[in-house]
Amino acid sequence: MQNLTPGAKRPHIRRLLQKLTIVLVIFVICALAIVTAVHRYSIRLIDTSQKELLPAIHDHQRAALNLERLERMGDLVAYGGSLTLIRKNALAAQVLAFQPSFGFNQNTQKTVRAAFELIREIRRTRQPLLSSRAERLSSIEHENLIQLEQTLQTRWDKYKQELFELQNKIISDATALQTKNMTLITATNNQMLMVAACSISMLLLVVFIIGYNLYKHLITPVTEASQALTVLEQQTEYTPLKEARYQELHNIRNTVNSLNGTMKKLHEMATRDALTGCINRGYFMERAQQILTVAHRTKSPMAIVMLDVDHFKRVNDQYGHAMGDDTLKFAVKWISSLLPNGSFIGRMGGEEFAMIFPGYGLEDAVEVSDKIRSEIEQNSINSGTIPAITVSLGVDIVRHATDEVDKLLSQADKALYQAKAGGRNQVVSYQPPVFISDESQ
């Protein structure tokens, strides 16, 4: 695997597709060539086996059949005492007709010929024997003929045995040839199956290689880029995308990674106050709403505090606008260092700020607010950089499940107004109006 440094020149995706296509084409050509070669070889093997063995098998089968017929004919000639001479001659002619089909083997031919000669001899001998019955031969002549007939009968039985053995041998040869033929065909089939199995395995391997490459170099980077875009859209924790091998995906990766930076900047710009660095009014309201929703759901307390720098106009007027800006920055810095965990401050406009204390009841919120007030007073006196300032704070808490951020802010603002009216540099908590019910009147 080539190691690509961030600045290295990268191949294009089409290179990957070209490579994979070449792999596939080479495989298909090789597979086709192998299958064709094996197919031709198998056809030749089967052809050879059919050409060489089938005729031999047929010859054997024919010979075995003819031997059987010859034997039957011989029996008919030898024992057909009641048949007429014409009929016997016709049978002999039939036997003759079969003779040429025994040409495939010299021994067979010899045996068959000898058997055939014997049949003719039997026929010749039997002829006078039969006529002698009509001419009433002497008993001695008759006796001789009977003896001759018996001798011929014995010889015929011997030939019959030989014919039978020959027939068996021919049948077993034919069976052996047939078995050889079947073995050849089975072997060829097995070879074809092997080639098919190898081709399928190779195809699976090639598909795997192609799939793996597509997955690793194409699908994974695209999926990661898509997930990264979703993360950016949802503004959750973003993990920068890894290096991509191909140029197009590398460009996407760079763009998505830099989009993250841009989105962060945009988010900062949209949610932060440029002067003090704390969150702005819009984002404060959004976050306050989220905290309030949780507080309502969990039925936990929450405090909201409004803070205003006292006589800030004088600071601007006496020390200039820039000093006024610095004063606001310092004030926010000191407040932020005093905020309890989970709390936050937002600039609502001018020198007015708001804070949310999740989990805080009225007493605790007033305590923290007073701490902030006194710290700002002390720090500004001791700072030597900004003029001495004081702040006034108004505190309100969630009391009802229907309380909304706007309402709480407005009530805290009312308390702040009272703090200002009461002489400034103080914390005032909002006192809800007391309604006297009809019963108590």
Ligand X SMILES: Nc1nc2c(ncn2[C@@H]2O[C@H](COP(=O)(O)OP(=O)(O)OP(=O)(O)O)[C@@H](O)[C@H]2O)c(=O)[nH]1
What is the DSSP track for 222-285?
HHHHHHHHHHHHHT-PPPPPPP-SSHHHHHHHHHHHHHHHHHHHHHHHHHB-TTT-SB-HHHHH
Site for ligand X (CB under 6 A): which residue of 149, 162, 325, 377? 325
Could you tell me which stretch among 71-79, 180-188, 242-250, 313-321 binds ligand X (CB under 6 A)? 313-321
Measured between alpha carbons, how far is residue 342 from residues 272, 338, 372 in Å?
A: 17, 12, 16
Could you tell me which stretch among 171-179, 184-192, 244-252, 302-310 binds ligand X (CB under 6 A)? 302-310
Q: How far is the CB of 257 from ligand X (least distance, A)?
A: 35
Q: How far is the CB of 302 from ligand X (least distance, A)?
A: 26
Identify which of residues 321 and 371 has a Cβ nearer to ligand X in the complex: 321
Could you tell me which stretch among 68-76, 319-327, 378-386, 411-419 binds ligand X (CB under 6 A)? 319-327
308 touching ligand X, by CB under 6 A: yes
- When CB distances to ligand X are compared, the closest residue is 324
Q: How far is the CB of 350 from ligand X (least distance, A)?
A: 3
Q: How far is the CB of 341 from ligand X (least distance, A)?
A: 29
Identify which of residues 60 and 347 has a Cβ nearer to ligand X in the complex: 347
326 touching ligand X, by CB under 6 A: no
Identify which of residues 121 and 325 has a Cβ nearer to ligand X in the complex: 325
Q: How far is the CB of 270 from ligand X (least distance, A)?
A: 19
Rounded to whole angstroms, how far apart are CA atoms 238 and 257? 9
**Footprint of ligand X on residues 335-374 (CB under 6 A)?**
350-351
Rounded to whole angstroms, how far apart are CA atoms 204 and 198? 10
Identify which of residues 320 and 342 has a Cβ nearer to ligand X in the complex: 320
Beta strands 302-309 and 352-358: pairing type? Answer: antiparallel
Q: Do residues 308 and 319 touch, judged by C-beta distance below 8 A?
A: no
Q: How far is the CB of 327 from ligand X (least distance, A)?
A: 7
309 touching ligand X, by CB under 6 A: yes
Rounded to whole angstroms, how far apart are CA atoms 326 and 321? 9
Q: Quick one: DSSP state of residue 340?
A: P
Identify which of residues 66 and 392 has a Cβ nearer to ligand X in the complex: 392
CA 315, 317, 320, 324 torsion: positive or negative? positive
**Footprint of ligand X on residues 251-290 (CB under 6 A)?**
275
Identify which of residues 188 and 392 has a Cβ nearer to ligand X in the complex: 392
Size of the site for ligand X (CB under 6 A): 15
312 touching ligand X, by CB under 6 A: yes
Beta strands 391-397 and 427-429: pairing type? Answer: parallel
Q: Quick one: DSSP state of residue 47?
A: H
420 touching ligand X, by CB under 6 A: yes
Beta strands 427-429 and 344-349: pairing type? Answer: unpaired
From the list 242, 215, 79, 255, the residue with the least C-alpha distance to 160 is: 79
CA 329, 330, 333, 334 torsion: positive or negative? negative
Identify which of residues 210 and 376 has a Cβ nearer to ligand X in the complex: 376
Measured between alpha carbons, how far is residue 439 from residues 134, 370, 435 in Å?
A: 164, 39, 12
Identify which of residues 170 and 389 has a Cβ nearer to ligand X in the complex: 389
Site for ligand X (CB under 6 A): which residue of 14, 321, 333, 371? 321
Rounded to whole angstroms, how far apart are CA atoms 358 and 340? 9
Q: In what order do the strands lie in the sheet with 302-309?
A: 344-349, 352-358, 302-309, 391-397, 427-429
Q: How far is the CB of 389 from ligand X (least distance, A)?
A: 10
By the criterion CB under 6 A, which residues form the site for ligand X?
Answer: 275, 308-313, 316, 321, 324-325, 328, 350-351, 420
